[in-house]
């Protein structure tokens, strides 16, 4: 392998594994979202969604 190929390989590995590491750290610091929009699950696991689907004008 040429030096340029090895450099590109190292950069690619740093980007991929670095992104994985940052994602794991972020998830470990804040594991559960508390700012869900209306209609998503709230504390206690109950949903705030209507029984019938909402029709939208398109």
The answer to whether 36 and 30 are in contact (CB under 8 A) is no
Q: What is the pLDDT of residue 41?
A: 55
pLDDT of residue 55: 79
- In this prediction, residue 43 carries a pLDDT of 57
Instruction: Specify the pLDDT at position 54.
Output: 72
pLDDT per residue as tens, the chain (58 positions): 899 999 999 999 999 999 999 999 999 988 776 666 665 555 555 555 556 777 788 7
User: Would you list the domain boundaries of the chain?
Assistant: 1-31
């Amino acid at each position: 392998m040429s030096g340029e190929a090895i450099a590109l390989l190292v950069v690619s590995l740093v980007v991929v594994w670095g992104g994985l590491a940052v994602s794991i750290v972020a998830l470990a610091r804040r594991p559960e979202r508390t700012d869900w929009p209306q209609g998503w699950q709230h504390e206690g696991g109950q949903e705030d969604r209507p029984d019938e689907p909402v029709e939208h004008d398109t």
